[in-house]
């Protein structure tokens, strides 16, 4: 009874066809699969869909839904970025007009863009290790705490915005800001200021009732940890915040990558249920026991 809802076929920075992911999901024994290619943004970006590719994506996923109707649930979504109005004036209007008015089934809502880089362009927190180091030095004057607190401040805004979208949403890779923090290079997750920043976000999530995802992509990266960290998941469980498991797959063969470890992590922190998407929105189902 697991679904995989964070998947990027080859319309943005992912690869593979819609059908490839469906076949992989069925072979893995999933209950459903969802598609969440990066939604278009109103500025140049080489890892999101263009408006034209987005239209093809909608057509292709809907055609797959028709082919598999009654046999296997397929959900049409996007990974939708929070665009701070101070960073991207008119960005939310663009999303409403171009993306949200297309009859999507759900959205993975994520934060990538945290202010501007040294050249004045929107800067993505996960662009590269070199980009992160440069941003800390050139834009934040070496003060990584200020960058991280900006990230979590924007994430709180994302949570409230996501609750107004009018469709089922799940908070994607909550603590992605740690991606380049190998060995605590930039900050300690046990620092009081860091935990307070995370706790403020969790309070906002609890208030809205939105689920988060346990994103397994970090398990496949150098950081070798899920998003969010296990201590954050433990707090989410204490706060009764619902959870899904997301592979953040950019290849069909990764549609359930890390799911076995994710199930073990969730069980260890006390979760007994995960959220499955239905016509009525996110519904709790028993957490399958990995064997």
The reply to whether omega before 228 is within 30° of 0 (cis) is yes
Mean of the per-residue pLDDT values of the chain: 97
In a domain, 291, yes or no: no
CATH code, 89: 3.20.20.140
Q: Is residue 44 part of a domain?
A: yes
Cβ atoms of 149 and 115 within 8 Å: the answer is: no
Is 232 contained in some domain?
Answer: yes
Q: What is the pLDDT of residues 18-37, one digit of tens each?
A: 999 999 999 999 999 999 99
Return the residue matching tokens 């970006």.
Answer: 45
Q: Among 245, 248, 272, which residue's Cα sits nearest to residue 259?
A: 245
Secondary structure class of 135 (helix, strand, coil): helix
Q: What is the pLDDT of residue 289?
A: 78
The 10s digit of each residue's pLDDT in 186-223 is: 999 999 999 999 999 999 999 999 999 999 999 999 99
The model's pLDDT over 65-120, given as tens digits with 9 standing for 90+, comes to 999 999 999 999 999 999 999 999 999 999 999 999 999 999 999 999 999 999 99
Radius of gyration of the chain, Cα coordinates, nearest whole angstrom: 18
Helix (H) / strand (E) containing 232: helix 230-238
pLDDT of residue 1: 83
Domain count, the chain: 1
What is the tens place of the pLDDT at every residue in 110-151? 999 999 999 999 999 999 999 999 999 999 999 999 999 999
Q: Are 95 and 88 in contact (CB under 8 A)?
A: no
- How far is 219 from 19, CA to CA, in rounded Å? 26
Would you say residue 129 lies in a domain?
yes
65 is a domain residue = yes
Burial-class residue 228 by CB neighbours within 10 Å (0-12, 13-18, 19+). buried
User: By C-alpha distance, which of 199, 221, 109, 219 is closest to 152?
Assistant: 199
Boundaries of domain holding 108 = 3-286
């Amino acid at each position: 009874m697991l679904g995989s809802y964070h998947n990027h076929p080859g319309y943005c920075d992912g690869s593979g066809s819609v059908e490839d992911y469906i076949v992989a999901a069925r072979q893995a024994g999933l209950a459903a699969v969802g598609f969440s290619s990066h939604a278009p943004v109103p500025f140049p970006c080489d890892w999101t869909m263009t408006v034209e590719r987005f239209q093809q994506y909608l057509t292709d996923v809907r055609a797959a839904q028709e082919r598999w109707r009654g046999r296997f649930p397929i959900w049409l979504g996007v990974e939708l970025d929070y665009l701070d109005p101070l960073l991207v004036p008119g960005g939310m209007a663009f999303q409403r007009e171009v993306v949200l008015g297309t009859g999507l089934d759900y959205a993975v809502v994520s934060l990538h863009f945290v202010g501007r880089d040294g050249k004045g362009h929107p800067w993505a927190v996960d662009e590269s290790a070199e980009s992160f180091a440069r941003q800390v030095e050139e834009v934040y004057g070496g003060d990584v705490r200020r960058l991280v607190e900006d990230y979590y401040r924007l994430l709180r805004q994302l949570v409230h915005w996501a609750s107004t979208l009018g469709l089922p949403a799940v908070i994607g890779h909550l603590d992605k800001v740690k991606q380049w923090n190998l060995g605590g290079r930039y900050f300690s997750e046990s620092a009081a200021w860091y935990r307070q920043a995370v706790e403020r976000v969790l309070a906002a999530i609890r208030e809205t009732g939105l689920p988060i995802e346990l994103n397994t992509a970090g398990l496949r990266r150098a950081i070798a940890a899920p998003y969010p960290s296990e201590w954050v998941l433990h707090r989410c469980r204490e706060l009764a915040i619902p959870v899904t498991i997301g592979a953040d797959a950019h290849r069909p063969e990764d549609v359930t990558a890390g799911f076995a470890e994710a199930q073990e992590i969730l069980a260890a922190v006390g979760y007994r249920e995960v959220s499955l998407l239905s016509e009525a929105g996110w519904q709790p189902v028993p957490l399958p026991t990995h064997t």
